[in-house]
């Protein structure tokens, strides 16, 4: 008996529809790679919202559409593969919304989820700091409760870095140290920060490709209302780990540079023997990566699976970039989509958790190998 991997026709229709929408949205956007991270557009965010493609799986009570994870997968695989500018809504749809659904209270869900699902709000993620990237437990940004009453506001000071989309974000999902005396993993809390608050300075950082989507965010005694604390005070480490699973295990990790690959394939008239072999490897890798993501999508993945998915898929994306450069030949030395793709590729295995850290998670938590 063979394994049937076909999907129902309505899923294929949805995917075709999303591809059409992506192609229409990219007519004036020659760069279609990494569109979930650098393709910002408030207008397209609203369009996604009006099509019901944000918060697709969330309860209707909170502005969602109660559709299946497979439908969401089909829509975003097509949108990202064809370069649709989804960055303005992506972080919120991918991980902030699910985090608020799981750890927020009803007031918070009512306050933030319908706006996300309508494409009206943009969010950024304030985890990394100059000395706390891989090691979240060493976060130093300090959150101080200003009174003994539970509704007293917090004041937050510190520096966040590599904060993607901070310049256009309305809200920042921020992790800060709320108990300096607790053990490192135990004294962290999560806050929703209004990016228009007094005391926030956002400085753009330009990367090797000339893009400046990520930023340094300096917080100087920023007041945050008590009701913006999400989940358990001083207990956010487990929440962060759960949020990282949403960040690591999705289709965005496989198809960031799929548009470049598809265009590269189109310019190959007659592939050489070596190119045929590499195309075969890439096509196989794509299918394997897709199955890994689907396992997560279908709720069939064991805990920690996202570390495997992210490692495999982002190394795959680096292979895709190298292949495109090999096809371009000397043209890859000129500044164009291919050279940009090659310069950007190292970022895949860094952002959202480095491959070295993820391999440690695999060996430690999934395989249960002994630590030296």
Ligand X SMILES: Cc1cc2nc3c(=O)[nH]c(=O)nc-3n(C[C@H](O)[C@H](O)[C@H](O)COP(=O)(O)OP(=O)(O)OC[C@H]3O[C@@H](n4cnc5c(N)ncnc54)[C@H](O)[C@@H]3O)c2cc1C
Exposed e or buried b for every residue in 212-236, given b needs 16+ CB within 10 A? ebbbbbbbeebebebebbbbebebb
Question: Please, what is the minimum distance in Å from the beta carbon of residue 164 to ligand X?
Answer: 3
Question: Please, what is the minimum distance in Å from the beta carbon of residue 202 to ligand X?
Answer: 12
Q: Does 240 bind ligand X (CB under 6 A)?
A: no
Q: Does 133 bind ligand X (CB under 6 A)?
A: yes
Q: Are strands 154-164 and 171-177 parallel, antiparallel or unpaired?
A: unpaired
Question: Please, what is the minimum distance in Å from the beta carbon of residue 268 to ligand X?
Answer: 29
- In the complex with ligand X, the residue whose CB is nearer, 215 or 325, is 215
Q: Does 125 bind ligand X (CB under 6 A)?
A: yes
Q: Does 350 bind ligand X (CB under 6 A)?
A: yes
Residue identified by tokens 């993607």 is 164
- In the complex with ligand X, the residue whose CB is nearer, 14 or 347, is 347
- In the complex with ligand X, the residue whose CB is nearer, 102 or 356, is 356
Q: Does 354 bind ligand X (CB under 6 A)?
A: yes
Q: Which of 117, 172, 251, 347 binds ligand X (CB under 6 A)?
A: 347
Q: Which of 11, 52, 134, 235 binds ligand X (CB under 6 A)?
A: 134
Q: Which residue is nearest to ligand X (CB)?
A: 133
- Which span (96-104, 158-166, 221-229, 271-279) binds ligand X, by CB under 6 A? 158-166
Which residue ranges make up the site for ligand X (CB under 6 A)? Answer: 124-128, 133-134, 162-164, 214, 347, 350-354, 356-357, 360
């Amino acid at each position: 008996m063979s394994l049937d991997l076909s999907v129902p026709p309505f899923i294929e229709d949805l995917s075709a529809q999303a591809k059409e929408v992506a192609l229409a949205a990219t007519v004036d956007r020659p760069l279609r790679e990494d569109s979930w991270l650098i393709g910002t557009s408030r207008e397209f965010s609203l369009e996604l919202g009006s099509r019901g493609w944000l918060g697709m799986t969330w309860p209707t009570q909170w502005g969602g559409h109660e559709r299946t994870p497979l439908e969401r997968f089909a829509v975003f695989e097509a949108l990202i593969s064809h370069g649709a500018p989804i960055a303005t809504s992506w972080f919120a749809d991918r991980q902030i919304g699910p985090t608020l659904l799981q750890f927020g209270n009803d007031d918070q869900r009512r306050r933030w989820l319908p706006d996300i699902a309508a494409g009206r709000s943009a969010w950024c993620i304030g985890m990394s700091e100059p000395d706390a990237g891989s090691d979240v437990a060493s976060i130093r940004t300090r959150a101080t409760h200003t009174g003994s009453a539970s509704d007293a506001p917090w004041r937050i000071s510190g520096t966040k870095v590599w904060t993607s989309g901070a310049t256009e974000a309305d809200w920042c999902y921020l992790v800060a140290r709320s108990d300096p005396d607790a053990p490192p993993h135990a004294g962290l809390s999560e806050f929703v920060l209004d990016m228009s608050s007094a005391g926030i300075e956002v400085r753009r950082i330009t990367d090797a490709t000339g893009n400046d989507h990520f930023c340094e965010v300096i917080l100087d005694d920023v007041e945050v209302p008590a009701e913006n604390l999400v989940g358990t005070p001083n207990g956010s480490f487990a929440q962060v780990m759960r949020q990282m699973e949403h960040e690591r295990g999705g289709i965005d990790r496989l198809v960031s540079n799929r548009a470049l690959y598809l265009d590269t394939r189109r310019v190959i008239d007659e592939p050489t023997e070596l190119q045929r072999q590499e195309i075969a490897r890439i096509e196989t890798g794509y299918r394997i990566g897709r199955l890994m993501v689907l396992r997560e999508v279908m709720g069939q993945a064991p805990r920690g699976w996202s570390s495997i998915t992210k490692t495999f898929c982002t190394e795959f994306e680096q292979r895709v970039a190298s292949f495109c450069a090999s096809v371009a030949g000397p043209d890859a030395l000129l500044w164009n989509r291919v050279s940009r793709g090659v310069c950007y590729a190292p970022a895949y295995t860094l952002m959202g958790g480095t491959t070295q850290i993820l391999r440690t998670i695999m060996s430690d938590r999934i395989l249960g190998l002994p630590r030296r």
